[in-house]
Structure formats: C-alpha cells, structure tokens
Structure 1
Amino acid sequence: MPTYIVTCKEDASPEQVEAVKQHARDQGGKIEREYNIIKGFSVAYPEDSVTALEQHEHVKGVEKDQVMKTQ
C-alpha cells in the first residue's frame, strides 16, 4: 500500500485528529508515524480509497509520501 501524509486542519482538536486516524484505520489504513510539528500523520492506505480520507471534515490535505532531494 502506498503511504500518504495527512494534514489536519489547524483548528482541529486532539479528539478530531484522533477521529481522522480512526477513520483511516477503519478504511484499511495503518498509521506509520505521528507528527508533533504539524497536526498530522503518515498512513499506509489503499490507493483506491484515498478520496474518502481526503473528504473527511477535519482533513486539510492528503499527499503521497515521497523522497525529497536537494541538488
């Protein structure tokens, strides 16, 4: 399964962030990492279901995790 970075809305409470994580788990996702600097986490998630995650009311954005390089 591909991995995605999920960013929650800035005004999301800790309970709302947890609700997003539970939604991801309920859809077959596995939380890989949780972030403290941003309200978000990475999740291994079925590619064909990512739209459901993007549409969650407390989600600001979802992007595919990838390696970044500097030149």
Structure 2
Amino acid sequence: MPTYIVTAKENATPEQVESVKQHAKDQGGEIKHEYTLIKGFSVSYPDDAVVSLESHEHVGTVELDKEVTTQ
C-alpha cells in the first residue's frame, strides 16, 4: 500500500484529528508516524480508497509520501 501524509484542517481540535486517524484505520489504513509540529500523520492506505480519506470533513490535505532530495 502506498503511504500518504495527511494533515488536518488548521482549526481542527485534537478530537477531530483523532477522528481522522480512526477513519483511516477503519478504511484499512495503518498509521506509520504521528507528527508533533503539524496536525498530521503518515498512513499506509489502500490506493483505491484514498478518495474516502480526502473527503473527510476534518482533512485539509492528503499527499502521496515520496522521497525529497536537495540539490
């Protein structure tokens, strides 16, 4: 399964962020890392179900996790 970086909306409460994580788990996702500087987490998630995650009311962004390099 691909891994995605999920961020909650800026005004999301801690409870709302937890509801996003629970939604991801309920849809077959596996939380890989929880971030402390942003309201977000990485999750391995079924590629064919990502639309469900993107449409959650407290989700701000969902981006495919990929390697970043500097030049």
TM-score normalised according to structure 1 size: 0.99
RMSD after superposition? 0.3
Amino acid at match of 1:26: D
Q: Which runs of 4+ in 1 moved over 3 A?
A: none
- Secondary structure of 1:49's counterpart equals helix
Q: Deviations over 1:2-55 (max 9, x none)?
A: 000001001100000000000000000000000011000000000000000000
Instruction: Extract unaligned runs of 5+ from structure 2.
Output: none
Question: What is the count of residue pairs matched by the alignment?
Answer: 71
2:35 aligns to what?
35
Once residues 23 and 29 of structure 1 are traced to their aligned partners in structure 2, the CA distance between those partners, rounded to angstroms, is 8
Q: What are structure 1's unaligned runs of at least 5 residues?
A: none
- What's the % identity of the aligned pairs? 68
